[in-house]
Amino acid sequence: MDTESPANGVQADQRRVPKHVAIIMDGNGRWANQRNRARTWGHREGVKSVRAVVEESVQRGVGTLTLFAFSSENWRRPPTEVSLLMDLFLSTLRGEVRRLNENGVRLRVIGERRAFSEKLQRRIADVEDLTANNTKLNLLVAANYGGRWDVTQAARRVVADVLAERLDPAAIDERAVAARLSFADLPDPDLFIRTGGEKRLSNFILWQSAYAELYFTDILWPEFGAAAYGQALDDFAHRQRRFGLTGEQVASQTGVAGDAWR
């Protein structure tokens, strides 16, 4: 890629790696259908793309990667597909621990996990424990997750803290809410990717993505590998993030346009 004269006039700094990438892994079913196979085959094949993106994130120094594996709304799918997705989640968690540890990946699950079977909940807790000391990449798997659920559970915690007199209602501000959302200890997503051609957020991370750069690609998830992911990261390196400032203000503050958030 020509980094000297990009179309948008913003000079890329290839060292600008997003601290947090969030991905809606979409298109498994269509990918399988195009090959006259069951949708569920697409989900199985999609696991390979997960591995590729996790490893590329480690290579590139992305600190946090969040993958949308199952939305609050996905329970509405046919029971056989839901049950295959749960089995796949369980078997992938079981099978990947060694690879995660080899790559220095700490896995955490975000979402309402009480809806899962006891076995799956135990497995999630085990993998979280077994990878807890890894520091190269925080891998968040969003399962039974919804952006509105996240804001709602934060609201519930705010109320609980007020009732317990740990929080003064007059002191409730954005920070107080943000501190009670999922992954409050990690930075907000800088780059929000959706594969599979749809241009919507589908109730993925909402509050925390308020200033994320959006990137949509038609590539279906099972075909999304290190190269396609690298293109998204390169595209991000060309974005000028203004956070309400003018482009000139950002350029004069940083030298390289777009580093205002650091």
> Which residues in the 100-159 window bind ligand IPE by CB under 6 A?
none
Rounded-to-integer distance, Cα 184 and Cα 186, Å: 5
When CB distances are held under 5 to 8 angstroms depending on the partner's kind, the choice from ligand IPE, Mg ion, none that residue 74 binds is ligand IPE
Q: Which two tokens stand for residue 14?
A: 């290839």
13 is catalytic: no
Element containing residue 70 per DSSP (H, E): strand 64-71
Q: Which of 30, 4, 15 is nearest to 197 (CA)?
A: 30
Q: Cα 166 from chain centroid?
A: 31
Q: x/- binding map, residues 22-61, to ligand IPE, per CB under 6 A?
A: --xxxxxxx-------------------------------
Contact 39, 81 (CB under 8 A): yes
Which residue's beta carbon is nearest to the bound Mg ion? 26
Q: Which two tokens stand for residue 122?
A: 């135990």
36 is catalytic: no
246-to-125, 209, 249 alpha-carbon distances in Å: 45, 21, 5
Which residue's beta carbon is nearest to the bound ligand IPE? 29
When CB distances are held under 5 to 8 angstroms depending on the partner's kind, the choice from ligand IPE, Mg ion, none that residue 168 binds is none
Q: Per the residue annotation, which of 74, 101, 134, 203 is the catalytic one? A: 74
Stretches 2-10, 21-29, 101-109, 110-118: which one binds ligand IPE (CB under 6 A)?
Answer: 21-29
| Minimum distance from residue 23 beta carbon to Mg ion (Å) | 13
Cβ proximity to ligand IPE: between 151 and 177 the closer is 151
Q: Per the residue annotation, which of 8, 13, 26, 234 is the catalytic one? A: 26
Q: Which of 96, 196, 76 is nearest to 141 (CA)?
A: 96
Question: What sign does the CA torsion over 88, 93, 94, 99 have?
Answer: positive
Stretches 20-28, 47-55, 98-106, 229-237: which one binds ligand IPE (CB under 6 A)?
Answer: 20-28
> Which residues in the 75-94 window bind ligand IPE by CB under 6 A?
85
Rounded-to-integer distance, Cα 215 and Cα 192, Å: 6
- Which residues make up the interface to ligand IPE (CB under 6 A)? 24-30, 68-71, 74, 85, 196, 198, 200, 202, 221
Catalytic residue IDs: 26, 74
